[in-house]
Amino acid sequence: MKKTALSLSVLAALALGGASAQTTIKLATLSPLSGGQSDLGTQIRNGAQLAVNEYKPQFQRLGLNLQLAPYDDQADPATGTAQARKIASDRSILAVVGTLNSGVAIPSSAALAPSRVALVSPANTANQVTDRGLSNMNRIVARDDAQGPAGANFITGTLKANKVYILNDKTAYGEGLAREVEKALKAKNVQVVANEGTEEKSDFSSIVAKIRLQRPDAIYFGGIYNQVGVFIKQLREAGITTPVVGGDGLDSAELVTIAGPQGANNIYFTTVAAPIDALPAAKTFAANFQKTFNDAAQGFGAFGYDAAKVALQGILNAAKANGNKAPTRAQVEAAIRKGNFTGLLSGNVSFNSVGDRKAATLYVMNVQDGKTKLAASVPVRPAKQ
């Protein structure tokens, strides 16, 4: 008797479920949610969450239940690759927003390529990210071969430096950026006294001593805010006020905190993610972000949002072309690469044959008295269109 009752209740539940059965599809994020770079990684995840919230009703109308699946790569290539394999094994994940770090993107995208899982990166700048020609790897930001020369032009044009000391953090990102800056400076006959790699995180006294000896007009550091901030703090404490220039790895509100009141001066960085106040369309987004997460939106939050909108619109386009049914990963991969995406905070997006954004913008930021302000905007295009 119990058995029959149970069977009937199961049948009833199935019938009810069947009436409103929705296929679950997911957008994943892959970014550092723990560790020293979690500030930016969390911005990316939260930006993507807002895009998912916005797109949910459109997917619901097609009988698709859209969810966000956040994965933590800890800014580490091995962890990121392991997480990418987990993403590949969850067949309901149709695309990924990520990563923050180029060194993580390179192996992770390679791990996802055989499963045809598309990535849309809100942050990766290393040339090698797209130069490998993977059909699943796309980015909505400028490349190092645009960011490096823009940094070099700023060092020579605005700072009028003739002698530059270059540092890098020995990652794919930092080394790549430092190499491009060095190449561009040497082409302008600027003396590059060093291009030194360091993984040091806490005691920069030996590097500071070398800089004091060389007396450069500017210092360029290809690295991330959690390392560079400590370096700048110690540099300023040693009484050296030389301007420090970097790339988008310095684009975090944490930089000012880590560098301290004395350190947060005479710092410049190029960034691929626009500051919120440089994006006219971002006012509503910033208010929603603050309300939802009780945290101020930063540039990478906005670009996480834009990257997610590109991925979600790609999934939606693929679903519509597939008779309003959940598309395959291969259909999504093709729809993202071939799509024209509008209504974004950072302008329209379309990709070239290797997944680079056809028209991007670089922003030069200045940190003075602990405040970060926009110094200049530079439109850039990849060599391949």
Per-residue pLDDT reduced to its tens digit, 114-163: 999 999 999 999 999 999 999 999 999 999 999 999 999 999 999 999 99
pLDDT tens track for 311-357: 999 999 999 999 999 999 999 999 999 999 999 999 999 999 999 99
Query: Residue 344: what pLDDT?
Result: 96
Q: What band does 7 get if pLDDT is binned at 50, 70 and 90? A: low
The predicted model gives 172-201 an average pLDDT of 96
Query: pLDDT at position 278, please?
Result: 84
Q: What is the mean pLDDT of the chain?
A: 93
pLDDT tens digits, residue range 211-258? 999 999 999 999 999 999 999 999 999 999 999 999 999 999 999 999
Residue-level pLDDT at 12: 45
Q: What DSSP designation does 316 have?
A: H
Burial label, 205 (beta-carbon count in 10 A; 0-12, 13-18, 19+): exposed
Residue 16 clears pLDDT 80, i.e. is over it: no
Is 6's pLDDT higher than 60?
no
Eight-class DSSP state of 357: B
Instruction: Pick the closest to residue 128 from 106, 113, 110, 149 (CA basis).
Output: 106
Q: Say how many C-beta atoms besides its own lie within 10 A of residue 236's C-beta.
A: 22
pLDDT value at residue 385: 80
Which of 86-90, 204-208, 321-325, 360-364 shows the lowest per-residue confidence on average (mean pLDDT)?
360-364
Pair 352, 384: CB distance under 8 Å: yes
For residue 329, give both structure tokens: 């990963």
